[in-house]
């Protein structure tokens, strides 16, 4: 990919990929200095959806903050609330029954598939193909129906409670999930035939947006962005939490470092999540979903506690600094997209703008998670 030959000062113009743009997946603004079609320099401007979740964590008690976490990353809300309840349970030493933990893993994996499906549709739409969006959202509706039957919401779930869940799943749900799995497998094959093998798609993405492993390390990129660059890092395997050690699944890693590799990582992850769901349904134990002894008022002892979980976009971390009262003293959210997006400023120098937008789509951005 040849870059600009020589730039005289004053020869560049500023292009605003503004807060209102079909490809920015939210309100993100990238100020680009352009030399014709090539980007000389890019600067990301954030803050257009800054709602300050961290201050809400300090002004409210621990249970009152629970619904907030879903609004951070609304496509993968189960993963975020999982991280939150695990962090508070670790801080306040609350036991969780086994059945509740298995159901949590099931829900998180179903949510991961629905998040990747939406990303898939939006990504191909960015590149110009509108049809896969319709198919992907239709498949996603099947999963959303399942979630709605149990939790009551389609998008921003508030299903987990400190210590377990608030609503148990019944045999109807298990039967419905078993019916959806072959349907999703068939859809994944259809996408592989329709999109992954398409010559135009491959030419748009192969060797576009290279991100080296060393760059990932300097910026702290995690998730499919790192796994597309050859880094074998998945919090579920490297720092196991919850019931993940009981499940047998692979972590897809590709070494080409380009946008196509990141795409392939996510498509393979959907298949692995289906495997986890099947195993979870077989292994689901009986039992209660809330612990017998649970503190009435959650007041973790002094200190700071950290919990990292693997969400659809990477490693989400939450740090709770507690001073013994019923509000957190400091409630820090480490969002994966924040670190992933930081790469973009350096990586897109010298690229053509169409390639930069393809790369931005492959990073899987959800802007409220960056701005928190």
Partner 1 sequence: MMKNIIKQALTDLFPSPGTVAEELGVETAEDEVAENGKKKKAKKKEDPPRVNGVLERDHAQYGYDIDVQLEPGELLAAVMIIDKAGFFIESITGVDWIKEKQLEVIYDFSRYDFDPCRVVVRTRTPRENPGIPTISKIFAGANWHERETHDFFGIKFEGHPHLVPLLLPEDADFHPLLKDFKP
Partner 2 sequence: MGTQNVPSPLEEIPSSIVQFAAADKLINLGRVNSFWPLTFGIACCAIEMMATGCARFDMSRFGAEVFRPSPRQSDLMIVAGTVTKKMMPGIKVLYDQMPEPKWVMALGNCAISGGPFAFEGQYSIVLGADTFLPVDIYIPGCPPRPEALLQGILDLENKVSGWNRWKDPEKA
The alpha carbon dihedral of 159, 92, 65, 241 has a sign of negative
Q: Are 121 and 137 in contact (CB under 8 A)?
A: yes
The neighbouring-strand residues paired with 31 are: 16, 43
Nearer Cβ to partner 1, position 154 or 326?
326
Report the nearest approach of partner 1 to the CB of residue 79 (Å): 17
Selected from 7, 15, 40, 46, the binder of partner 1 by CB under 8 A is: 46
Alpha-helix runs per DSSP H in 212-327:
213-219, 224-227, 235-238, 259-283
Selected from 1, 3, 16, 54, the binder of partner 1 by CB under 8 A is: 54
Report the nearest approach of partner 1 to the CB of residue 100 (Å): 19
Selected from 1, 63, 95, 134, the binder of partner 2 by CB under 8 A is: 134
Closest CA to 125 of 137, 112, 142, 143: 137
Nearer Cβ to partner 2, position 12 or 115?
115
Instruction: Tell me the window of 4-12, 142-150, 189-197, 327-335 that interacts with partner 1 (CB under 8 A).
Output: 327-335
CB neighbours of 128 closer than 8 A, spacing ≥ 6?
A: none
Selected from 15, 34, 40, 49, the binder of partner 2 by CB under 8 A is: 49
What is the rounded CA–CA span in Å between residue 319 and residue 307? 7
The neighbouring-strand residues paired with 310 are: 315
Q: Which string of x and - marks every residue 195-234 that binds partner 1 (by CB under 8 A)? A: ---------------------xxxxx-----x----xxx-
Locate tokens 């257009």: which residue?
48
> If you write DSSP's letter for every residue of 9-54 in order, what string do you get?
TT--EEEEE-SS-TTSSSS-EEEEEEETTEEEEEEEE--TT---HH
Q: Show the CA angle centred on residue 295, arms to residues 290 and 298, nearest 5°.
A: 110
59 makes contact, choosing from partner 2, partner 1, none, with CB < 5 to 8 Å by partner type, with: partner 2
Q: Is 332 in the site for partner 1 (CB under 8 A)?
A: yes
Q: Are 58 and 329 in contact (CB under 8 A)?
A: yes
Give the footprint of partner 1 on residues 297-316 (CB under 8 A).
301-308, 315
Nearer Cβ to partner 2, position 129 or 210?
129
The dihedrals phi and psi of 306, each to the nearest 5 degrees, come to: -130, 140
Give the footprint of partner 1 on residues 84-103 (CB under 8 A).
87, 90
Q: Is 56 in the site for partner 2 (CB under 8 A)?
A: yes
Selected from 212, 283, 324, 354, the binder of partner 1 by CB under 8 A is: 324
Q: Is 19 in the site for partner 1 (CB under 8 A)?
A: no
> If you write DSSP's letter for every residue of 340-359 in order, what string do you get?
HHHHHHHHTTT-BHHHHHHH
Note the residues at the interface with partner 1 (CB under 8 A). Answer: 46-47, 50, 52, 54-55, 58, 87, 90, 216-220, 226, 231-233, 237-239, 301-308, 315, 317, 319, 321, 324, 329-330, 332, 334, 338-339, 342, 346, 371-372
Note the residues at the interface with partner 2 (CB under 8 A). Answer: 18-22, 26-27, 47-52, 55-56, 59-60, 67-68, 71, 74-75, 118, 133-134, 137-138, 141, 154-156, 368
């Amino acid at each position: 990919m040849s870059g600009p030959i020589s730039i005289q000062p004053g020869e560049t113009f500023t292009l605003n990929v503004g807060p209102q743009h079909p490809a920015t997946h939210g309100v993100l603004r990238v100020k680009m200095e352009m030399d014709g079609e090539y980007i000389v320099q890019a600067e990301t401007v954030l803050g257009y959806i800054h709602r300050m979740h961290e201050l809400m964590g300090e002004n409210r008690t621990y249970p009152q903050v629970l619904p907030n976490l879903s609004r951070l990353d609304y496509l993968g809300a189960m993963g975020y609330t999982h991280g939150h309840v695990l962090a508070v349970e670790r801080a306040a030493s609350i036991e969780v029954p086994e059945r509740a933990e298995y159901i949590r893993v099931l829900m998180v994996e179903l949510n991961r598939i629905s998040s990747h499906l939406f990303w898939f549709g939006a990504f191909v739409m960015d590149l110009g193909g509108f049809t896969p969006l319709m198919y992907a959202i239709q498949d996603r509706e099947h999963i959303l129906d399942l979630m709605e039957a149990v939790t009551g919401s389609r998008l921003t779930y508030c299903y987990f409670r400190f210590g377990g869940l608030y609503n148990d799943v019944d045999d109807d749900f298990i039967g419905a999930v078993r019916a959806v799995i072959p349907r999703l497998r068939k859809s994944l094959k259809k996408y592989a035939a329709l999109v992954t093998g398409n010559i135009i798609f491959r030419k748009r993405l192969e060797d576009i947006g290279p991100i080296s492993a060393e760059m990932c390390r300097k910026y702290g990129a995690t998730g499919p962005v790192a796994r597309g660059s050859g880094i074998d890092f998945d919090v579920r395997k490297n720092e196991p939490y919850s019931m993940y050690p009981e499940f047998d699944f692979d972590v897809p890693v590709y070494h080409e470092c380009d946008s196509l590799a990141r795409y392939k990582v996510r498509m393979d992850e959907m298949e692995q999540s289906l495997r986890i769901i099947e195993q979870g349904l077989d292994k689901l134990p009986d039992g209660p979903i809330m612990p017998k002894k649970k503190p009435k008022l959650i007041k973790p002892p002094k200190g700071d506690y950290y919990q990292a979980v693997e969400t659809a976009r990477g490693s989400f971390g939450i740090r709770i600094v507690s001073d013994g009262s019923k509000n957190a003293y400091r409630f820090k959210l480490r969002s994966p997209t924040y670190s992933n997006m930081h790469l973009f400023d350096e990586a897109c120098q010298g690229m053509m703008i169409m390639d930069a937008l393809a790369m931005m789509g492959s990073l899987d951005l959800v802007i409220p998670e960056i701005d928190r």
